[in-house]
Structure 1
C-alpha cells in the first residue's frame, strides 16, 4: 500500500515472503511478560493481516527467557490457519519433544558465527552447539518438520569485532549439511552495510548454498536495515525477517536494538511493486494496539506516519 506511486527496480523479485518474528524475537526482549491472551490475539491479528509465516514462541528454558514461559499454553490457545506456518524456537532435544507433542511442524535452531556469543547465548562453543543441534535437526527432518537455522553475529560481534565472511560460510555449510531447510543470516547488532551484505551472499552462493534457502534478519541499530534488505533482494533473497512495530532486540547482546519494522519493510516493498500478501493498514492497527499494551509508542517510522493520518 502506497498512495505515492509504484516504481519497480530491475533485478528484484516479484514476491517476498516476510517471516514475522514479533511474537517470539520481539516479545522475548520485553522487561515483563505479556498475558498469554494478549500474545494469542497478537498472533491472530498478524495472520489476519496476511502473514503466512509467524514465529510464535520458544521452548528455551523459562529461566533464560521468562517472557516466553507460557509456550505450551499459547500454542494451545491458537487456531492454526490453513497455509500459515507457525515456527517455534527449539534449543535441544527436550525442546523438540515438547514441540512435537503439540503438533508443531516448523522449528528453528539458533546458532552463532562467533565463539564469544555462542558461549554467552548457549553456554557452549560453536562446535558444541552444532553437536547439540545435529540430533534435533535429524529427528525433526525424519518427522518431516521444517527446520530454520538462525545464524547470529554474521557481520559483527560486540566482543570480537568484524566477523569474516568465511567464518559465517563455514558455520552455515555445517548447518545446511545437517538438513536445515532455511538459513536466516542475523545482523544481530545492526552493523552491516550493503556492500558487506552483497559480499556475504556471494560467498554463500559460491560455497553451494542456494539463495532460495537464505533469509536475512537485520537490526536497525545504525539505520541500515532497509538498505541492507534492498541489497539482499538485489542478490536474489526472497525471505526477509521483520518484526511488527519494530519490536525486539537481543537479550544477550546489549548493543542490539530493535529488529527491522515490518511496516517500514512493507512500505519499501510496496513502492517497488513487490508483493507480500500483507495488508499494511491492518498491520499498523495491530502495532498500535500492541504499543498500547506495552505502554510505549512503536519505533516504526511508518507506523508513526500512517497512524497520525488515521487521526
Structure 2
C-alpha cells in the first residue's frame, strides 16, 4: 500500500522553486561493488545534465585505495571541463583540493560530522581536526587569490572564483553513538560559518530521522539566525520516512535537497544504512505538492541502462 505523502501548508509554498543536488555519480557510486567504467560514468553524468540537473556531484578527490570507485575523478573533471559550473567534487584535504584546482574545479564540497565516533571511523580524525582541515583548505584558496560565491543561487563565472558547500553527517543520529543532540550540529555550523560556505548539507546518515527530529534541529538552527537559504537536507530512506522529513523541511523554508538517481548509494562507513532518497521519488513528491524543479521525473525512466549504470538497479518507488 502506498504511503500517503505529508501535506504541505499553503504558507510553505511562498517560494516554490526547489534546488536539487544530484549526488548519484559520487555518493551513489562510492561504495558499489560493481564499479562503473569511466565511459559509463561519463554517460550517466551527461544524461543528468541533459535532463535539466544544474547541480551534479560528479566525483571525489580521495585516495583510490580507500574508495576505488572514485579513482577516475581526475578524468571526469577533465572530460567535463566546460561544465564545471554545474558539477561538484568532494575533497578530503589540502592535497585533494590542490589536485581539484589543477583540473580547474570551481565547485568544491568538504565534509565533517556531528559525531566524534563517526568522524573517527569515517575519516580517521576528530571533529575539531576535520574543521581545521576545512579551514586550511579555505585559507589556501584565499592565499591563491580565489574569491568565493556565498549565495547558493549564483554560479562561478569568473577566473579564480569558487563556490563551496560543506557536508555535515550524522545530524540526527550516529550508527555508533545513537541519537545526537541538535546542539552538536549547531556547534559545528557556527564554527564553519565564518568561512562563508554557499551551503551546508545536513545529512541523516543512517536514515533514522523522523519529522519531529528535523523540526527540532531546524528550529535550533532558525533560533540561532542561520538562514534556511544556507541549508540543504540530505535524507536516507532507511525506514521510508525521508519524504515526510522533506515535508518538514519545506515547512521551515528549506528549498535545497540532496538526492540520488534511483536511490543509489550511501556512506560505506555507516554499517547497515540503506541508500539515499531516490531522486525520482523526491521529484514526484515535490511536483504533487506544487513545487518547481525544472526536471520531469517521467523522463528519467530510461536512466538505468547498461551504458550508464551497468548492472546497478533503480530502487525508486516511481519506476
Q: Is the shorter-chain TM-score for this pair beyond 0.5, marking a shared fold?
A: yes
2:214 to 188, 197, 204: 197
Matches within 5 A, 1:208-247: 208-247=225-264
Q: Is the 8 A contact 1:33 1:68 kept in 2?
A: no
How far does residue 281 in structure 1 lie from its aligned partner after superposition? 2.4
How far does residue 8 in structure 1 lie from its aligned partner after superposition? 7.2
| Structure 1 Cα separation of the partners of residues 34 and 53 of structure 2 | 26
How far does residue 158 in structure 1 lie from its aligned partner after superposition? 1.2
Matches within 5 A, 1:1-311: 9-10=9-10, 11-12=12-13, 13-78=15-80, 80-81=82-83, 84-140=85-141, 142-144=145-147, 145-286=162-303, 288-289=304-305, 293-303=309-319
| Structure 2 Cα separation of the partners of residues 197 and 132 of structure 1 | 28
| Structure 1 Cα separation of the partners of residues 307 and 299 of structure 2 | 14
How far does residue 172 in structure 1 lie from its aligned partner after superposition? 1.3
Q: Is the 8 A contact 2:182 2:217 kept in 1?
A: yes
Q: Is the 8 A contact 1:8 1:271 kept in 2?
A: no
How far does residue 81 in structure 1 lie from its aligned partner after superposition? 4.1
Distance 1:158 1:8, change over 3 A: closer
Superposition TM-score, scaled by structure 1 size: 0.90
In the other structure, the counterpart of 1:308 is none
> What are the Cα deviations for residues 28-58 of structure 1, in whole angstroms up to 9, with x where unaligned?
0201321001101100100111000001100
Q: Is the 8 A contact 1:291 1:298 kept in 2?
A: no
Q: Structure 1: which 4+ aligned runs deviate by more than 6 Å?
A: none
Quick check: 209-218 or 288-297, which moved more?
288-297
Q: How many aligned positions are there?
A: 295
> What are the Cα deviations for residues 193-216 of structure 1, in whole angstroms up to 9, with x where unaligned?
001101101111212211101000
In the other structure, the counterpart of 2:153 is none
> What are the Cα deviations for residues 180-205 of structure 1, in whole angstroms up to 9, with x where unaligned?
22100000000100011011011112
Distance 1:290 1:21, change over 3 A: farther
SS in 1 for 2:270: coil
Distance 1:65 1:235, change over 3 A: same
SS in 2 for 1:264: helix
Quick check: 98-107 or 169-178, which moved more?
169-178
Q: Is the 8 A contact 2:8 2:251 kept in 1?
A: no
Please, which runs of 5 or more residues in structure 1 have no aligned partner?
1-6, 304-311
SS in 1 for 2:209: coil
| Structure 2 Cα separation of the partners of residues 8 and 118 of structure 1 | 34
| Structure 1 Cα separation of the partners of residues 253 and 309 of structure 2 | 37
Over the residues paired in the alignment, what is the CA RMSD in angstroms?
A: 1.8
| Structure 2 Cα separation of the partners of residues 161 and 181 of structure 1 | 29
How far does residue 293 in structure 1 lie from its aligned partner after superposition? 3.8
Please, which runs of 5 or more residues in structure 2 have no aligned partner?
1-6, 148-161
